[in-house]
Structure 1
Amino acid sequence: MKHRVRGPARTCVSCLSWGRIFGHGFCVACYMFAREYAVDQCAGCGRWEPVRSEYCRLCWAQARVLARESGRPLHSTGATAVRFLQQVRHHQLFFADMQSTRGASTSPPRKHPRRGRPRTPDPAPAGRPVTRWAQPVLFPGLPRDYTRFDETMDANPDNPWLRWGQHVACQLAERRGWPRRIRLDVERSLIILLSHHIDDDTVSYVAMFTALRPLGLSCDRTADVLNEMGLLVDDRRPAFEDWLEGKLDGIAPGIARETETWLRNLRNGGPRTRPRDIHTVRQYARAVRPILLDWSANYDHLREVTRENVLEALAPLRGRDRQHTLIVLRSMFGFCKKNGVVFRNPTSRIRVGDRHSKNIQPLRDDQVQRTVAAAARPADRLIIALAAIHAARSGAIRALRLDDVDLGDRRLIIAGRLRPLDDLTHKLLLDWLDYRRTRWPTTANPHLLVNQMTALKLGPVSGFWIKAGFRGQEATLERLRVDRQLEEALTHGPDPLHLAVVFGLDERTAIRYAASARQLLETAIECDTSG
């Protein structure tokens, strides 16, 4: 702990020591001494000072020196203390706050420091136990019940599986930089789970969670160790199943069955189709659910839906909503026609129409300033700079690794593209790296951005965490990225080739930015001419 600076060095008015003194003239020791003892005339030096057993602190300090020279301890009371206090004939001055107040001691030194516990030795190296015959479990399909485990009576530290697990946990903790608290929690969890582990046995995630969660132990880190050992069986129900069940609720069984097959094919892919992103699947289900609910009131199967029903469902929709809904219905009926569920595709020959994109408008200065003012977390300003200066998407920011930053040559690799490092981003990177090193000094995560959760892992931060500091703002990360690319088109001219080279855009996106910039420039020229 650092002492607070108390001004220039001077002499303490009580013990005459030299050092940094409080504003009232006392050193720290004399200040605490004066708070405990009353002022009286010292029997040794005759000064009027706070005294203990008729002697001031200066005389006590000199008596302590005499006791240390004689090799005998000096206690605050007793004949030994009086004998050394009476031998004081002079005073050796000293520096403030540097003299021990515990006196000399002839007892042997402590084996360990007074503060803190000794470091627990690393477990002995161990490998996977050799499989031997053991009494088979009566019901092998049932998971173990770890909630009845008594740590004081049921722990078996000699189990070879437990020793192997402790060795794997130690290695994993070193690779990922787990703090001591996490290591102790994982060690305690392994004792509960592996004390009675036998060959060919596994650990169920649900059973592990049920036992460890009430004790406040780390389930994720323990699962990492068990997964490294090949013993974990993840029997959790996927969140996709609950979400899908909610989306199909209220739909006719015949329609719901085929819709479920279509959504699962979107999520997992098929023999000739690639799996879609989960956000795409959610958007498709959100768009088609109201229509399926209306059809469920009159039909029991998708083969009963006609072209007129599709046109009737699209009639109240306009613009991009109509285009998106028709694309979703085409995907669903195309899948059903391909698999022989329907005889005809009712969406065929219904024109989707061209997508007319709106002109991109630049952000106002006040919108950007409000977003900058809302940056409260240490990483938020760096995230804003990466989006507003380098036009980086949130996914590219999450994927940034420490190897992608070259501070010496002032270069940065974003989404595989080499970009020069400007002064502002360079300063924000230094600030973030200094905070990252101070906050998580032992983390082994190779990604540039880490938080409290990912500092113990090797993966990137979540997309929700990246955008959490800017929710509710007009200038979001996506708007800042778009505004940076539009600014480039306005500054260097609406040249799609230049935009594609600088930001790595595809030809359609670059043309769209160039068209928006050209429209804004022509509007500005017309305003100047009319004025």
Structure 2
Amino acid sequence: MLGQTVCQGCAEWRKKHPEQGVCLRCRHAGYLNSDSLCRACLHAVRLDADAAWVTDPDGAGPRSRQLMLLYYGLAPTHAQPLKKYGRRTGRTGVDQRERLHWVEHIRAAAAPTRDDPAVLPPTVPGQLPLFPVRRMLSIDVCRRILQRPLTGYADVVEHTAAFAAETGISKPMQRKLHEMLRLALAVRDADGDDLVDELVLDDIPNYIRSVRAVLLRAGMLRVWEEPREPQRPHRPGKLRTVRRPRPRHTMTPRSCQQCGCWFATKLRVICEPCSSFSFRKRGKVPVSTGTCERCHRVDLPLADGHCRGCRWHMANHGQGGVARFGTQLWFGSPVPAPTSLRGSDVARPAPRRPVSEYLAVPGQERLFELRRDWRPVATLERQALPTLTDSAQRLLADLDSVMKQEMWSKVPATKTRRTLLVLVSWLGADAPLLESDIRALVDKRPLKFSGRRVTQFLEARGLLVPDPEFRRDAHQRRLEAELAALPATIAQELSVWIKVVRGEGKWEHSGRTFRSVFRYWHVLDPILTMWLADGVESLREITRDDVKKAIATRKGTPARSIHIVLRNVFRALRQERVIFRDPTRGLVFAGINVPPPSVPSDRLAGVLSHARDDFQRFVMVLVCVHALNGTDIRRLLLTDLDLSRERLVVRRLGKRHIIYLDELTYRCASAWIRERHRRWPVTSNPHLLINRWTAVDTTHSPIGTTFSNLFRPTGLTMTTLRQDRIRDEAFEVDDPLHLMRLFGISSHTAMRYITAAHPERTAKLPR
């Protein structure tokens, strides 16, 4: 370079890169290219002299310039090539957007290969995507999953080599094709699919056709099943192009931009009626466009100053809807809008009642256990209830047929139907109803609704969800309520006693029912009240004197009952190691022989005249003539009465007692059988005595204990009449065996009545 301070290459470098700055590599001021490198550092990097700086420019620090012998126009044979982006300028070189491809190549080679879990994470095989979305795939995405194992990738590489041999593609293109195939397989795993969907190829940045051909050869492509366009005949001399079919536009729901209705369409933005309304002419004047006088929306087709949505609203709701601002949304339909509002002033029929929005959905579980408040709807009339669904109407029709077939009486039938009508009108009949909802409705208006028959009717058809709280024994709930009112210590001790009586203690024995336990509690409750008033905080404080004092509060049989109950309580607590000693141990209570009371004959006269029907007359005869107790009467079965042989079988625990019917009993029994068949001809309850509730009870329960109230008009109790009948027979016959055969009583009871009737025969001689 004679007479020059800058070589010819640097002179052209300055013309090509006029910007000056500090080089990123050598930290010297000079003319820099777009990558902020001077000409000397650029040659050093291109010769791979400093790969460490390329991989980490910030951490490598400044570098010194390497002296080189360069000939203008002659590049080193081992220099890295430049990748040219954009068009060629016609000269030897590139435009201003050229970048150094070799920089990316060196950094990618030096950086460790990896598998980024955030990029196309594999999902569970076979899982369907909730929202199908398109992905933005690029070469950078492929570089972040270079080490990810992909099923079938080795087979795809082999098929790529065979495809390259047939088509003659080069090695660099095969490497690029491998990257695109890796992206396709990664998307397949991200979708949880076993094959690559053909629609995924639209997201591949390059070589879509080649990727499709390779995947077809490997059998890893799911071809799009939509029908393709018919192929046109190929013209000679013209290249054949493969056209991918465009996806069809599916029907999507959307809202009309004019009337706001919802309709399904492909590409339209307004519904068909609004389109017809916009282009229809009224006579010779086209429909104008402006602001609606009612909804105040602008640029809408108008007729008489109103848009189609407001006209449709006023036509259905009358002229009173003009003052309202809002418009009810609806589902679009091909029904045209009314062209005139003259018919709006005419009185229209009452609109149909809407369906309840609280209909129970089948299979839907409750989020919160809440009790419904039926007070706002319990007083509504039938006309104000929501419209019944088809399933609800069928269920009510089924109830009507059952009531007609079983001949229900008018009052319970009316209450039952009203209860079911309110339930299904608000909750529907597609899903099972909660028993708690029925109880809540009946508790608010017990005189208007009846829930027992509705519960049994729904349970027989599988439309009831039982409530365990209401299915528990009534005596158990009463005992729990009584225990909750006591102090914690005594309540805990008595709960242990109840478990022992129920047969759930340490020693196995047959347990008693909650009804028997509650009978014990009826005797124990006054004693507990007395002890609590004296300041007793635990049953461990009770002594023998306290027990004697409690027994002394009563006389005769009640005193003996207190002794028996207290002995049962303290023995159970001592057995469970709750107390240290039993205060009733060794305490003996003398037997009580109180003669049964005698009823004067003037009071017995006319007892049967108080009976109002065949049921009451038959019960009075069974008590006053045959001395049956309430338990025996409730348990009598229809098959136990044999009118042809004139006898009645009374079933007791471990034995049977046969009653031979006299003339009076026979007439009363036959009259009751005729009345029973007349009122409930199709009942399935096997008991002899039934009422309007147990006749339709699907559980076949016996009648309750309230039938004993029919003796109140006589001024006597059922127990007194029974005892007087046995005593009267003891006066006539002084044989205890006769009493045992006639009434089915035990020997001890028979001797007690004989002693009461003939005390002189059992008197002991003085010593």
Which residue does 1:191 correspond to in 2?
424
Shifted more, 475-484 versus 436-445: the winner is 436-445
How far, CA to CA, are the matches of 1:511 and 1:313 in structure 2?
A: 30
Residues 1:303 and 2:540 aligned together: yes
Which residue does 2:668 correspond to in 1?
428
Aligned mate of 2:520, from 248, 259, 284: 284
How far, CA to CA, are the matches of 1:189 and 1:511 in structure 2?
A: 60
CA contact (8 A) 2:475 2:518 kept: no
Which amino acid in structure 2 is aligned with residue 348 of structure 1? R
Which residue does 2:702 correspond to in 1?
460
DSSP-derived class of the 2:582 partner = coil
How far, CA to CA, are the matches of 1:321 and 1:138 in structure 2?
A: 51
How far, CA to CA, are the matches of 2:715 and 2:642 in structure 1?
A: 32
- 1:470 to partner: Cα distance: 0.8
CA contact (8 A) 2:476 2:514 kept: no
Q: Within 5 A, what are the aligned runs for 1:412-423?
A: 412-415=648-651, 416-423=656-663
CA contact (8 A) 2:385 2:425 kept: no
Aligned mate of 1:337, from 564, 574, 577: 574
Which residue does 2:438 correspond to in 1?
208
Distance 1:209 1:280, change over 3 A: closer
Residues 1:254 and 2:489 aligned together: yes
Which residue does 2:143 correspond to in 1?
none
- 1:160-210 residue CA offsets vs partner (Å, 9 max, x unmatched): xx96x6798589668855468468557636734762644xxx533221233
- 1:71-111 residue CA offsets vs partner (Å, 9 max, x unmatched): xxxxxxxxxxxxxxxxxxxxxxxxxxxxxxxxxxxxxxxxx
- Gaps spanning 5+ residues in structure 1: where? 1-132, 524-531
Residues 1:483 and 2:720 aligned together: no
Q: TM-score, normalised by structure 1?
A: 0.60
How far, CA to CA, are the matches of 1:196 and 1:456 in structure 2?
A: 22
Aligned mate of 1:139, from 359, 367, 378: 367
RMSD between aligned alpha carbons?
A: 3.9
- 1:228-272 residue CA offsets vs partner (Å, 9 max, x unmatched): 245332233864466436645774431232124424654686563
- 1:217 to partner: Cα distance: 4.2
How far, CA to CA, are the matches of 1:425 and 1:241 in structure 2?
A: 38
- 1:133-180 residue CA offsets vs partner (Å, 9 max, x unmatched): 977446175567788899865633258xx96x6798589668855468
- Gaps spanning 5+ residues in structure 2: where? 1-360
Distance 1:223 1:340, change over 3 A: same
How far, CA to CA, are the matches of 1:325 and 1:427 in structure 2?
A: 44
Which residue does 1:394 correspond to in 2?
630
CA contact (8 A) 2:503 2:512 kept: yes
DSSP-derived class of the 1:418 partner = strand
Which residue does 1:222 correspond to in 2?
454
How far, CA to CA, are the matches of 2:428 and 2:494 in structure 1?
A: 47
Distance 1:167 1:269, change over 3 A: farther
DSSP-derived class of the 1:188 partner = helix
- 1:342 to partner: Cα distance: 0.8
Which residue does 1:99 correspond to in 2?
none
- 1:223 to partner: Cα distance: 0.5
Which residue does 1:232 correspond to in 2?
465
- 1:396-439 residue CA offsets vs partner (Å, 9 max, x unmatched): 22233332222233222233433222111122223333444444
CA contact (8 A) 2:623 2:722 kept: yes
CA contact (8 A) 1:223 1:232 kept: no
CA contact (8 A) 1:268 1:276 kept: yes
Distance 1:459 1:316, change over 3 A: closer
How far, CA to CA, are the matches of 1:158 and 1:247 in structure 2?
A: 44
> Which has more radius of gyration?
2
Paired residues in the alignment total: 382
CA contact (8 A) 2:496 2:573 kept: no
How far, CA to CA, are the matches of 1:409 and 1:432 in structure 2?
A: 17
Which amino acid in structure 2 is aligned with residue 287 of structure 1? V
Greater relative contact order: 1 or 2 (C-alpha under 8 angstroms, separation 6 or more)? 1
How far, CA to CA, are the matches of 1:138 and 1:440 in structure 2?
A: 40
Shifted more, 470-479 versus 504-513: the winner is 470-479
- 1:214 to partner: Cα distance: 4.8
DSSP-derived class of the 1:414 partner = strand
Which amino acid in structure 1 is aligned with residue 537 of structure 2? D
Residues 1:359 and 2:595 aligned together: yes
Distance 1:191 1:147, change over 3 A: farther
Which amino acid in structure 2 is aligned with residue 464 of structure 1? T
Distance 1:485 1:305, change over 3 A: closer
Which residue does 1:155 correspond to in 2?
388
- 1:341 to partner: Cα distance: 1.1
DSSP-derived class of the 2:585 partner = coil
- 1:468 to partner: Cα distance: 1.2
Shifted more, 383-392 versus 300-309: the winner is 300-309
CA contact (8 A) 2:490 2:539 kept: yes
Identity within the alignment, %: 27
Distance 1:171 1:501, change over 3 A: farther
Distance 1:166 1:498, change over 3 A: same
DSSP-derived class of the 2:388 partner = coil
Shifted more, 320-329 versus 140-149: the winner is 140-149
CA contact (8 A) 1:166 1:190 kept: no
- 1:324-359 residue CA offsets vs partner (Å, 9 max, x unmatched): 222211111111111121111122112222x22222
Distance 1:509 1:277, change over 3 A: farther
CA contact (8 A) 2:389 2:428 kept: yes
CA contact (8 A) 2:640 2:648 kept: yes
How far, CA to CA, are the matches of 1:311 and 1:490 in structure 2?
A: 37
Which residue does 2:735 correspond to in 1?
495
CA contact (8 A) 2:475 2:515 kept: no
Residues 1:244 and 2:479 aligned together: yes
Distance 1:175 1:509, change over 3 A: farther
Distance 1:286 1:433, change over 3 A: closer
- 1:59-82 residue CA offsets vs partner (Å, 9 max, x unmatched): xxxxxxxxxxxxxxxxxxxxxxxx
CA contact (8 A) 2:396 2:417 kept: no
How far, CA to CA, are the matches of 2:645 and 2:701 in structure 1?
A: 27
How far, CA to CA, are the matches of 2:421 and 2:593 in structure 1?
A: 58
How far, CA to CA, are the matches of 2:511 and 2:404 in structure 1?
A: 36
Distance 1:171 1:186, change over 3 A: farther
Q: TM-score, normalised by structure 2?
A: 0.43
How far, CA to CA, are the matches of 2:762 and 2:546 in structure 1?
A: 45
Which amino acid in structure 2 is aligned with residue 502 of structure 1? L
Distance 1:461 1:290, change over 3 A: closer
Residues 1:406 and 2:642 aligned together: yes
